[in-house]
Amino acid sequence: MLLNKDKWPEFVGRLAGKKLLAPQSGGDAVRFAPVSDGEVPMLDFKNTRVPPKQALFPQTETMYRFQLGTEEIELPQLDEETIWLGVRPCDARAMAIVEKLFRWDIDDPYYLKRRELTTLVGLACNEPGLNCFCPSVGGGPASTEGLDLLMIDLDDRYLLEAITPKGEALLDVTGDLLDEVKADAVKEKEKVVSAAEKKIKRTVDTEGVSAGLPGLWEDPLWRRVSAACLGCGTCTYLCPTCHCFDIQDETEGFEARRCRMWDSCMFEEYTVHTSGHNPRPTRRERTRNRINHKYSYYVDKFAVTACVGCGRCVNLCPVNIDIIEILRQVKEAL
Ligand code: SF4
Ligand code: SF4
């Protein structure tokens, strides 16, 4: 369906009743934030600094509350329906990839309940970033995987494509604002998407990487590519597919809560055993793990690479460590 942009405020107004989040500028970054009543989010952004993985996997979440000395627990109420507007295709695809993990040996009730309550409305990328490489890892600027509805910006109108029943439901409630798609819009879409694909300049050759990585375990490349690393964790916290967490109990008097929070395999303490032994004692082992996890272990387990080529780890690493360059060196060493 087609939505003329002059009807955008009315379209957003129709979504009221559910919690709505959209990318908003603040300081030097764009981030997802709640949209207040009457506010009309403008979707003129490249991508958010923090990916919307927090929609399903918050940075910190309470798993349950309890009182010391009793056996009763209080579970959090997960019942708020939310719509995330303007999710980039790579970030939605990342959520679909990570869901495989949260459905693996046991179903994770927190992640899956949030997925049930969340509608993801995507916005195709017309202007990919300098370090985007989504086509190299199975995605694309108008990929639909993980999305409920995809919007494609055709200058003065949006083309809306429902991907799931949740997306169709959104089109139902806004139907009187929409026009049928005609052949000219289909042609325009093809032109816009093809132009966006051509703007993606960075590429990664992943052929043979997954199978070859175990054989490079002791290769000198790991010391080289990790030499400048500060262990700050930026590349993992801001990665839409990174999903490691820690679980801790917080107490105040007799009140307590068990919570889980994002963790990072790039932190030295991440693998420290109670004995004090650390099997990944230096940046070399931690960087090697990060690349192996994304490009080998996850592929073995779930038949998909745990990297969607969003480019955030390249854009935001304070010492310019570049995963594309690391993978180039991996290929060279194979
Ligand atoms: S962002 Fe860069 S410096 Fe920080 S942990 Fe990752 S690779 Fe190391
Ligand atoms: S590893 Fe880097 S490029 Fe790949 S998904 Fe994570 S942040 Fe994006």
pLDDT at 44: 86
Of all protein residues, the one whose alpha carbon is nearest to atom 7 of ligand 2 is: 239
pLDDT per residue as tens digits for the range 255-295? 999 999 999 999 999 999 999 999 999 999 999 999 999 99
Band the pLDDT of 38: cuts 50, 70, 90. Answer: confident
CB contact set of 134 (below 8 Å; sequence gap of 6+): 89, 90, 93, 128, 140, 141, 143, 200, 308, 309, 310
pLDDT at 12: 95
pLDDT per residue as tens digits for the range 143-174? 999 999 999 999 999 999 999 999 999 999 99
Band the pLDDT of 305: cuts 50, 70, 90. Answer: very high
- Report whether residue 129 contacts ligand 2, using a CB cutoff of 6 Å: no
Mean pLDDT of 106-124: 97
Surface-to-core class of residue 177, CB atoms within 10 Å of its CB (0-12 exposed, 13-18 middle, 19+ buried):
middle
Mean pLDDT of 120-128: 97
Q: Which ligand is nearest to the CA of 239?
A: 2
pLDDT per residue as tens digits for the range 21-33? 999 988 889 999 9
Q: Determine the residue of 237, 308, 317, 328 to mutate for testing ligand 2's pocket, defined as the one with the most ligand atoms within 8 A of the Cβ atom.
A: 308
Distance 306 CA to ligand 2 centre (A): 8
Give the chain's mean pLDDT. 96
- Report whether residue 313 contacts ligand 2, using a CB cutoff of 6 Å: yes
Percentage of residues of the chain with pLDDT beyond 70: 100
Pocket of ligand 1 (CB under 6 A): 229-235, 266, 317-319, 321
Closest of 113, 331, 308, 38 to residue 210, by C-alpha: 331
Band the pLDDT of 301: cuts 50, 70, 90. Answer: very high
pTM confidence score? 0.96
pLDDT at 290: 98
Q: Which ligand is nearest to the CA of 324?
A: 2
